[in-house]
Structure 1
């Protein structure tokens, strides 16, 4: 596990330029706002968060971190995008969200400083944006307590995912800015499962996320061919 430089400056710049729009539910981040209740309910169905210490890796503007704090969890959101973190902090103040704080630090650096600290770690929609996703997975495994839960979400790498998540979402439906995702950085479930095993995480459940562009409706099911989530525990 590396402790520095596991980030792409172009990716940080991309999200920093959009930082002021994180909490605009009709902006480029509309999909994150729409899927957030689904993600939170899925996590809470496996481990009720109230009273737990939770880490959100790659928190961005704090959409998931803020929601988890509202369940009664003690949440730390971390990211390397300075502008996004400032937006997250400002929103927490304006919304008077208790139990959430933010820090500009990498997952690897925090893992070196605070191993085995958190009951739950989430890393959603982030692995496909870093040079070495296996290092992030290992850091998450290091940060969670033995018996704790780690949740991941990312995008599969196959022809269907390219058609739906990149061509469809970015170039046809304009749901996301063009260039948000790079096909080569997408991660197959088998690859993510391998990263988890190598880091001492046991896969407990997988879920796919689907979208109907006509009804603008999202739902969870067993199809992991495009967007998918992993629920794991630390041995």
Structure 2
């Protein structure tokens, strides 16, 4: 089995496939994704101006971000390896009449070989912490983007605070996410992600943190990257 085909955890795919029918229910387990999506979308659009751009969303799931980027005027390809999630994404695009978005079931590594340096923007959100070899996905994202193009990642930091907030708090106490959504050992320190990006030919342009207030149930972007964080990169 080659690296691209093997860089997937069947248990992770099964976990999200079992919930696939609930992707577009804003009160479901995916409520946090619906709530943070406008924040992520505006941050990406503010840096890369999605209008008319060729975009790929790696690990697109049910298409929440891919669909929103298409509505900003981008031509979006969403890729994932979870068949059920992709079917949900395709059905939603059909029902909502979203133009400029399509979906394919394949890995980032496979697409990078198939269509190198084709995309103006690559997004990879909440996906790196779910694969066995995240550095391989970072490399693939770098291969897919055109010189001068943008690559955006979001993931979870690995430290005692993130364990307390993202696992104990979000999954067990506040029940914002299903139990077992994240594994602490798979969380990624910003320094690790920047190293993988740099080794792949990407220049880090800046971080944003994502914070949540359980009392107001509000999310916002900040400079605090200790739990959830986003990284913007450009290809030299």
Aligned match of 2:102: 101
> Deviations 1:142-182 (Å, cap 9, x if unpaired)?
00001100000000000000000000000000000000000
- Check if 1:129 corresponds to 2:130: yes
2: CA distance, partners of 1:45 / 1:68: 12
Q: Secondary structure at the match of 1:123?
A: strand
2: CA distance, partners of 1:19 / 1:105: 17
1: CA distance, partners of 2:89 / 2:176: 22
Aligned pairs for 1:1-235 (under 5 A) are 2-235=3-236
2: CA distance, partners of 1:95 / 1:189: 36
Q: CA deviation at 1:2?
A: 3.0
1: CA distance, partners of 2:195 / 2:54: 26
2: CA distance, partners of 1:110 / 1:219: 32
> Deviations 1:94-122 (Å, cap 9, x if unpaired)?
00000000000000001011100100000
Where does structure 1 differ by over 6 angstroms across 4 or more consecutive aligned residues?
none
Does structure 2 conserve the Cα–Cα contact (< 8 Å) formed by 1:3 and 1:112?
A: no
Q: Secondary structure at the match of 1:220?
A: strand
> Deviations 1:63-87 (Å, cap 9, x if unpaired)?
0000000001000000000000000
> Deviations 1:41-76 (Å, cap 9, x if unpaired)?
000110110100000000000000000000010000
| TM-score with structure 1 setting the length | 0.99
For structure 2, the 5+ residue unaligned runs are none
Q: CA deviation at 1:136?
A: 0.2
Q: Secondary structure at the match of 2:158?
A: coil
Q: Secondary structure at the match of 2:6?
A: coil
Q: Secondary structure at the match of 1:164?
A: helix
1: CA distance, partners of 2:32 / 2:85: 17
For structure 1, the 5+ residue unaligned runs are none
